[in-house]
């Protein structure tokens, strides 16, 4: 098939490269001219494992190309919309990019071309797209609109696109049997070679599968983080507790790892968008709001815990007039990406900076700038004279056996290590004279501060 993908972000670029690999002829359009120019040379706009090689290979086959403007030809069979839908201040999604794309398509679409929405959008959006096109004279039966939400994860985007957990098609439930079957046949043709469970529903159902999935994942993380505080209070180890809970097949082990909270470009945004959608239709939902509040409290509570541990050590050792200096390992919201959107690491660092702490950070891929923040290109350089180290993103390079702990201790001025991903064996760190602090790990001296923070917020 010949198709046009609009938006060369994590979703559009990965999907386009994989569909080209499957034999389709793909044009990816992005309004960012510099991004397009660089992509034509095979230079990636972000880090995603394996994507540079895949894009270069597909560029060479001639099946993948990049353009700066949407140009629909009569060869185009399908247009896939993959533009961003970032959050507005009030939690609603900003559909500005999507609206501009739809208006552009309204001027260009030709009979039989399918519009497929991959961007995550609120319920009612695909119906609205259809209406907007029809107001411009494009009938639904001529150019069907399909909601096809995306579930790929950054860091494993290629694999997730080649073998998705599921495929969801949301189509207009007013379509009669023959056009509906014809449409489905063309969608099967698009994804020929990709095998996954399939759900066909209406537009709103598909839109809510996406928002509902991300809100549920956020809920799982907030749930285990809330439980980690109870572990702190009772001296249980959250790692054992979550392992035991995850053994229940009705629950499953994923997304039950306690930490500083969820982040990234999707979970926080889709959760607040869902809460906004509920409220705007008069549906009362306290749960979504609480999931977000737990997330915020978690980051604050452990930033406070980290500083308290540092203060305790400093007061017994050195001139406490000296500014507190900490090292933070990890800036990206998770490993194997350079995406820092809504990263817990950034909220954590901003909180420390707001408390007057000097922050020295290192990440293998991600960068971030803020007043008072010093970026390093070596993890040990960030540690020089630090009072504490916080390991916030679990990149493989920060794994227990990858770190030279003797050198860590020697380079730092203090000894506190906040293991915000619970990846370290505390006994091992203690052997080097370090003071480990975890999330929901049984160290009785840490209980009171976390319980107090939780109780007060």
Ligand X SMILES: NC(=O)c1ccc[n+]([C@@H]2O[C@H](COP(=O)([O-])OP(=O)(O)OC[C@H]3O[C@@H](n4cnc5c(N)ncnc54)[C@H](O)[C@@H]3O)[C@@H](O)[C@H]2O)c1
Q: Which residues bind ligand X (CB under 6 A)?
A: 6-12, 29-32, 35, 82-85, 97, 100-101, 118-120, 150, 152, 154, 265-266
Beta-sheet pairing, 64-67 with 25-29: parallel
Least distance from ligand X to the Cβ atom of residue 69, Å: 8
Least distance from ligand X to the Cβ atom of residue 179, Å: 27
Q: How many CB atoms are closer than 10 A to CB 100?
A: 14
User: From CA 19, how far away is CA 357, in angstroms rounded?
Assistant: 48
Q: Output 85 or 347, the one with its CB closest to ligand X.
A: 85
Q: Output 6 or 389, the one with its CB closest to ligand X.
A: 6
**Helix runs in 318-415, H state only:** 344-354, 405-411
Q: Output 162 or 428, the one with its CB closest to ligand X.
A: 162
Least distance from ligand X to the Cβ atom of residue 276, Å: 14
User: From CA 245, how far away is CA 254, in angstroms rounded?
Assistant: 10
Q: Output 17 or 391, the one with its CB closest to ligand X.
A: 17
Q: Output 84 or 436, the one with its CB closest to ligand X.
A: 84
Nearest in space to 220 (alpha carbons), one of 289, 166, 109, 295: 295
User: What's the Cα-to-Cα distance from 52 to each of 15, 40, 42, 49, 107, rounded to whole Å?
Assistant: 13, 12, 7, 8, 33
C-alpha distance across the termini of the chain, in Å: 55
Q: Output 146 or 152, the one with its CB closest to ligand X.
A: 152
Least distance from ligand X to the Cβ atom of residue 126, Å: 13
Dihedral sign, Cα of residue 281, residue 287, residue 293, residue 299:
negative
What Rg do the C-alpha atoms of the chain give, in angstroms? Answer: 24
Please give the residue whose beta carbon sits closest to ligand X in the complex.
9
User: What's the Cα-to-Cα distance from 275 to each of 282, 295, 390, rounded to whole Å?
Assistant: 11, 15, 32
User: From CA 27, how far away is CA 29, in angstroms rounded?
Assistant: 6
Least distance from ligand X to the Cβ atom of residue 427, Å: 37
Least distance from ligand X to the Cβ atom of residue 293, Å: 22
Query: If DSSP codes are grouped into helix, strand and coil, which group holds residue 191?
Result: coil
User: From CA 120, how far away is CA 124, in angstroms rounded?
Assistant: 12
Q: What token pair was written down for 6?
A: 């609009």
Least distance from ligand X to the Cβ atom of residue 157, Å: 7
User: From CA 36, how far away is CA 43, in angstroms rounded?
Assistant: 9
Structural contact between residues 358 and 326, judged by C-beta atoms closer than 8 angstroms: yes
CA 310 centroid distance within chain? 31
Least distance from ligand X to the Cβ atom of residue 376, Å: 26
Query: If DSSP codes are grouped into helix, strand and coil, which group holds residue 257?
Result: coil
User: From CA 197, how far away is CA 169, in angstroms rounded?
Assistant: 11
Least distance from ligand X to the Cβ atom of residue 270, Å: 7
Q: Output 59 or 324, the one with its CB closest to ligand X.
A: 59
Determine whether 243 is an active site residue.
no
Dihedral sign, Cα of residue 188, residue 190, residue 196, residue 198:
negative
Place of tokens 């839109």: 207
Q: Output 265 or 411, the one with its CB closest to ligand X.
A: 265
CA 456 centroid distance within chain? 29
**Which residues make Cβ contacts (< 8 Å) with residue 439, sequence separation at least 6?**
225, 228, 238, 258, 259, 260, 302, 419, 420, 421, 422
Single out the catalytic residue among 130, 231, 266, 277: 266
Q: Output 30 or 419, the one with its CB closest to ligand X.
A: 30
Residues with catalytic function: 266
């Amino acid at each position: 098939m010949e198709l046009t993908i609009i938006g060369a972000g994590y979703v559009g670029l990965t999907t386009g490269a994989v569909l080209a690999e499957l034999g389709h002829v793909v044009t990816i359009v992005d309004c960012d001219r510099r991004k397009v120019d660089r992509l034509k040379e095979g230079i990636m706009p972000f880090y995603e494992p394996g994507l540079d090689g895949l894009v270069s290979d597909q560029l060479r086959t001639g099946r993948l190309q990049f353009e700066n403007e949407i140009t629909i030809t009569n060869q185009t069979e399908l247009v896939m919309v993959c533009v961003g839908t970032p959050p507005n201040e009030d939690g609603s999604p900003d559909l500005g990019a999507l609206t501009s794309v739809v208006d552009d398509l309204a001027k260009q679409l030709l009979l039989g071309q399918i519009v497929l929405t991959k961007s995550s959008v609120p319920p009612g959006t695909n119906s609205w797209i259809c209406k907007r096109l029809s107001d411009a004279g494009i009938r639904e039966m001529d150019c069907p609109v399909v909601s096809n939400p995306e579930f790929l994860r950054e860091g494993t985007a290629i694999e997730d696109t080649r073998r998705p957990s599921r495929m969801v098609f949301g189509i207009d439930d007013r379509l009669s049997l023959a056009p509906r079957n014809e449409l489905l046949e063309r969608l099967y043709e698009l994804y020929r070679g990709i095998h996954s469970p399939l759900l066909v529903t209406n537009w709103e159902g598909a839109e809510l599968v996406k928002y509902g999935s991300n809100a549920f994942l956020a809920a799982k993380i907030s749930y285990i983080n809330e439980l980690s505080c109870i572990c702190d209070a009772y001296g249980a180890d959250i790692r054992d507790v979550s392992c035991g809970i995850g053994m229940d097949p009705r629950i499953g082990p994923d997304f039950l790892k306690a930490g500083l909270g969820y982040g990234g470009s999707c979970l926080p945004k889709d959760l607040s968008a869902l809460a906004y959608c509920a409220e705007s239709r008069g549906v009362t939902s306290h749960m979504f709001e609480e999931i977000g509040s737990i997330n915020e409290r978690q980051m604050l509570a452990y930033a406070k815990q980290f500083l308290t541990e540092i203060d305790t050590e400093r007061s017994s050792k050195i001139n406490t007039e000296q500014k507190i200096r900490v090292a933070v390992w990890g800036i990206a919201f998770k490993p194997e990406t350079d995406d820092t959107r809504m990263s817990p690491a950034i909220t954590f660092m901003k909180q420390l900076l707001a408390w007057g702490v000097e922050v020295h950070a290192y990440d293998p891929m991600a960068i971030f700038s803020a007043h008072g923040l010093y970026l390093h290109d070596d993890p040990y350089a960030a540690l020089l004279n630090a009072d504490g180290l916080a390991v916030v993103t679990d990149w493989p390079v920060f794994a227990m056996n990858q770190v030279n702990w003797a050198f860590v201790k020697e380079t730092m001025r203090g000894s506190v290590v906040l293991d915000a991903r619970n990846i370290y064996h505390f006994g091992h760190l203690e052997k080097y004279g370090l003071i480990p602090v975890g999330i929901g790990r049984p160290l009785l001296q840490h209980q009171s501060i976390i319980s107090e923070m939780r109780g007060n917020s």
